[in-house]
Structure 1
Amino acid sequence: MGSLDLVLKFILVVLVLALSSLGLIFVHDFITQSPYFGIKTIHISGAASLSDSALLSQAGIKMGDNILAVNLKTARARLVAHPWIRDAAIQRRIPSTLAITVFEQTAVARAAMAEDFQVLVDLQGQPFKPYEPETEPQTAGLPEIKGLRLESLDPLSPASRFGFKGKLHQGVMELLALDTRSLVRKITADKDLGIDFTTDFFKAHKAVGEIPVTLKLGFDGFKEKFAGTSKILDYMDGFAVEKRVRLIDFFNIRSVTITLEDKDILPGTT
């Protein structure tokens, strides 16, 4: 009799567990399929380069989806996989609202990798996507960088990504930081000659006019040479110079050379 009681108790426990599991499954299915929890409102903030529809498509979310069935971790991973999205956060607001915040990349320049291929460069000076002005017109006016080469950022790591590094790269980023009015046209980096910097920054000077001026800055002292350019042009503005300044060579800081239109060269000054 005792053995029969144990068997009956075991069967009863199994039945209770089975019914409980079925009940939980039923509750789960009811909640995750109930129209009450369907997404009716989506708040999106931080998106400038991507439309709301493109962002939702990237996240794999659409209006009407059950808010409890949305896998927030997966949706966020899909968002940050987009080259324009640096980071993202998604929050549920029960019963039917989803809040999505994205932190976009900021493109500060475009770097030439080959004759017909350029990449966008972010605030840290690293490439993050191809330059495509036809579909992204907001990037069309960015300054062009030439002479940088992609390198492994961590050669000892098998998962290392490629980017820019080294003295020339640091110099380029320093010059972009000096360009507070976004007037840089082109920066050319050369391992032997240093950095050339073409800008509209000095167009207000009579000695320059409407055409950009190029500064040959060498490898260092960029801030001082930038300030020195203003002093030189202030001085030249006081004279009736018929030909405009097109290039100032600071490579040898002891003998600055100024090239005018038609490649006329003024004597070096100490």
Structure 2
Amino acid sequence: MNSTRESRWTLTRLFITLLLSVFFLILYRELTEWRYFETKQILVTGNSRISEKEIILQAGVEPGTNLVQLNLSAVRKQLLAHPWIEDAQVEWRVPSAVGITVREHQPLAVFDIDRRYTVNVQGKIFKIWDGTEPDHLPVVEGLKFSDLGISGISHSIPFNTVMDVLTSGKSSDCVIPNEMIQRVLLDRELGVTLLIVPNEKTYNINEIKLGYEGYPVKYERLQDLLNYLKHRQNGIMIDSVNLTNPDRIVIAPIHTESLDEDDLNEDDKEEV
């Protein structure tokens, strides 16, 4: 008797499951064919570099797409495949809109490692340099791929050194903002040298040797030097400044030999 009752209950459950399956299939078909759920509007936010049209094209969502059929996860993956998109969120906004929110990579510099790569503010390579980047990005030379912390390995000291300099240069009140830096040259023994855009504000300085570590103090000393030159009326123009030792600044005026405090004659020697 019990066996017969269990068989009937099993058949009943199978029948109910079948009915529910058929019901949901019919419901899904009706929803996917119902014009009420057709995409009528695609809302894009968070973009500045990438156009709204390009983002929609990358997402693969078109007006008329049925929202019930839309795979939001797949759309997000398509958006993340775009080289300038760091993160993206896609949502269905009832009844007939798709919302796309993107976060774009913020370019910091170009790393020249065999070929040129564009790096964001986290120090992550996000695309091969192709000339579409902002013109003012500094070009970093002297790093290796092994410095980048790929495959879970920690970033190297040279990499962190370069990032310290570039992060400092993001500040608008930095004495040498990144917009003024043409190239960052890394020497593994001597540290960092900046080749900057000559201008009157920096007395046409071409090169600043920073070495390793202590950059806030070195930038303060550089600012002191620029303030000193501002009030000195002899029209001195400097080719390079060596701040490797911030307690002993070495300058090389344009078209002269490199001088330090001991090499200056009495007429030129002043406390900076």
Give the TM-score normalised by structure 1: 0.81
Deviation of residue 187 (structure 1)? 1.1
Distance 1:124 1:266 in 2: 38
- 2:113 corresponds to: 113
- 2:99 corresponds to: 99
Identical aligned residues as a percent: 24
Deviates more, 1:48-57 or 1:100-109: 48-57
- 1:195 corresponds to: 192
Distance 2:198 2:37 in 1: 56
Distance 1:212 1:112 in 2: 24
Is the CA contact (8 Å cut-off) linking 2:205 and 2:241 kept in structure 1? no
Change (3 A) 1:15 1:166: closer
- 2:162 corresponds to: 172
Does residue 244 in structure 1 map to residue 234 in structure 2? no
Superposed counterparts of 1:218-237, under 5 Å: 218-237=211-230
Distance 1:149 1:90 in 2: 37
- 2:135 corresponds to: 140
Change (3 A) 1:31 1:267: same
Amino acid paired to 1:26 = I
Distance 1:28 1:49 in 2: 39
Change (3 A) 1:178 1:241: farther
Does residue 184 in structure 1 map to residue 181 in structure 2? yes
Change (3 A) 1:118 1:13: closer
Change (3 A) 1:13 1:252: closer
- 2:257 corresponds to: 264
Is the CA contact (8 Å cut-off) linking 1:202 and 1:230 kept in structure 2? no
Give the TM-score normalised by structure 2: 0.80
Is the CA contact (8 Å cut-off) linking 2:90 and 2:99 kept in structure 1? yes
Deviations 1:78-116 (A, max 9, x none): 2223221111111111110111101111001111113xx
Does residue 90 in structure 1 map to residue 90 in structure 2? yes
Unaligned runs of 5+ in 2: 1-5, 173-178, 263-270
Distance 1:161 1:130 in 2: 21
Amino acid paired to 1:249 = N
Change (3 A) 1:268 1:25: same
| 1:262 aligned counterpart, secondary structure | coil
Change (3 A) 1:255 1:8: closer
Deviation of residue 259 (structure 1)? 1.0
Amino acid paired to 1:187 = V
Amino acid paired to 1:228 = R
- 1:37 corresponds to: 37
Aligned length: 254
Does residue 151 in structure 1 map to residue 146 in structure 2? yes
Change (3 A) 1:65 1:26: same
Amino acid paired to 2:24 = L
Change (3 A) 1:251 1:13: closer
Deviation of residue 227 (structure 1)? 1.1
Is the CA contact (8 Å cut-off) linking 1:184 and 1:201 kept in structure 2? no
Amino acid paired to 1:193 = L
Change (3 A) 1:131 1:68: same
Deviations 1:196-235 (A, max 9, x none): 0233597425xx0xx4532111111111111111212222
Unaligned runs of 5+ in 1: 1-5
Deviation of residue 14 (structure 1)? 6.4
| 2:255 aligned counterpart, secondary structure | helix
The partner residue of 2:125 within 121, 124, 127 is 127
